[in-house]
Amino acid sequence: MGNLIHFNALKTIWIKECTRFLRIWVQTLVPPAITISLYFIIFGNLIGQRIGEMGGVSYMEFIVPGLIMMSVITSSYSNVASSFFSAKFQRNIEEMLVAPVSNLTIILGYVGGGVARAVLVATIVTLVSSFFVPLSIQNYGMVIGTVLLTATLFALGGLLNALHAKSFDDISIIPTFVLTPLTYLGGVFYSITLLPDFWQMVSKGNPIIYMVNGFRAGFIGVSDVSPSIAIVVLLGFNAAFLALVWVLLHRGTGIRT
């Protein structure tokens, strides 16, 4: 009976989260497709013709995995951060906290919504990409695994941000000053092998390097880091973030006053 209650609660939260971003699909699903199209036109067609090949493939093919992963990161993070903070701001999160539902169920429900949006956005961006370059996926398992682990990680990150945020302005601080720089320096538009040895070593301290290159390895078979190491890094960060979110939610950080 207890497991059925948790399952129904998880399903309800997940459906609520999916309904939320699907209801405003013009704001949640269309912008990534438009943004990626502009990236392809500017970086792919105009600049890519001058760059030529990178990693043994055309520049257009090289940036596709990075652009898809960038959309996954942004979508999963923003979905959970905005949704959970809204529930906290409107004080309806308290209804879930007093219900016979575990903290893990609440976490999985919100994270599941973020992952669902990220996967849907990734699918849309991939379809848009197919109009610009011929797509040929080398390892479906690596592609799917990297997308799911990355989406889960940043959904958990969005939940962390929402727990600590005290206003809607706080929701935009991390994406603006942390995620955006790390993403652009995460090998989306270039191979880190082009950098001097010292900066290659520094770049490997950026976790997004492993996400982008792990996905790129599965997508086009090109990577600056070992795919197995990328998966290990993702699993480690996911475990750490899940434990941290659970502890903070259990303590009522940012919720109970």
Three-state SS string over 171-224 comes to HHHHHHHHHHHHHHCCCCCCCHHHCCHHHHHHHCCCHHHHHHHHHHHHHHCCCC
pLDDT over threshold 90, residue 18: yes
More confident of the two residues 138 and 99: 138
pLDDT tens digits, 142-176 = 999 999 999 999 999 999 999 988 888 888 888 88
Angstrom distance (rounded) from CA 108 to CA 242: 10
| Mean pLDDT (the chain, rounded) | 88
pLDDT tens digits, 37-65 = 888 877 766 676 777 777 778 888 888 89
**H/E run at residue 128:** helix 103-129
* Contact present, 2 and 97 (Cβ < 8 Å): no
Q: What percent of the chain has pLDDT over 90?
A: 46
Which pLDDT value is given to residue 229?
A: 94
More confident of the two residues 172 and 80: 80
Report how far apart, in Å, the C-alpha atoms of 168 and of each of 11, 29, 83, 251 are: 27, 21, 11, 22
pLDDT band of 103, cuts 50, 70, 90? confident
Q: What percent of the chain has pLDDT over 70?
A: 96
Average the pLDDT over 169-192 and give the result.
86
**Weakest mean pLDDT among 25-39, 92-106, 123-137, 242-256:** 92-106
Q: Phi-psi category of 252—alpha, beta or left, where left has phi over 0 and alpha has psi -120 to 50?
A: left
Residues paired with residue 53 on neighbouring β-strands, in sequence order:
58
Which pLDDT value is given to residue 48?
A: 67
Average the pLDDT over 220-247 and give the result.
94
Angstrom distance (rounded) from CA 249 to CA 39: 38
Which pLDDT value is given to residue 44?
A: 66
pTM score: 0.92
* Contact present, 68 and 125 (Cβ < 8 Å): yes
* Contact present, 249 and 103 (Cβ < 8 Å): yes
User: Residue 31 — φ and ψ, nearest 5°?
Assistant: -55, -45
Which pLDDT value is given to residue 195?
A: 87
* Structural tokens at position 197: 């040895």
Which pLDDT value is given to residue 167?
A: 82
pLDDT over threshold 60, residue 241: yes
**Weakest mean pLDDT among 34-48, 139-153, 219-233, 238-252:** 34-48
* Structural tokens at position 188: 């989306």
pLDDT over threshold 60, residue 128: yes
Which pLDDT value is given to residue 256?
A: 65
pLDDT over threshold 60, residue 1: no
SS3 label, residue 122: helix
* Structural tokens at position 248: 């903070």
Average the pLDDT over 14-36 and give the result.
91
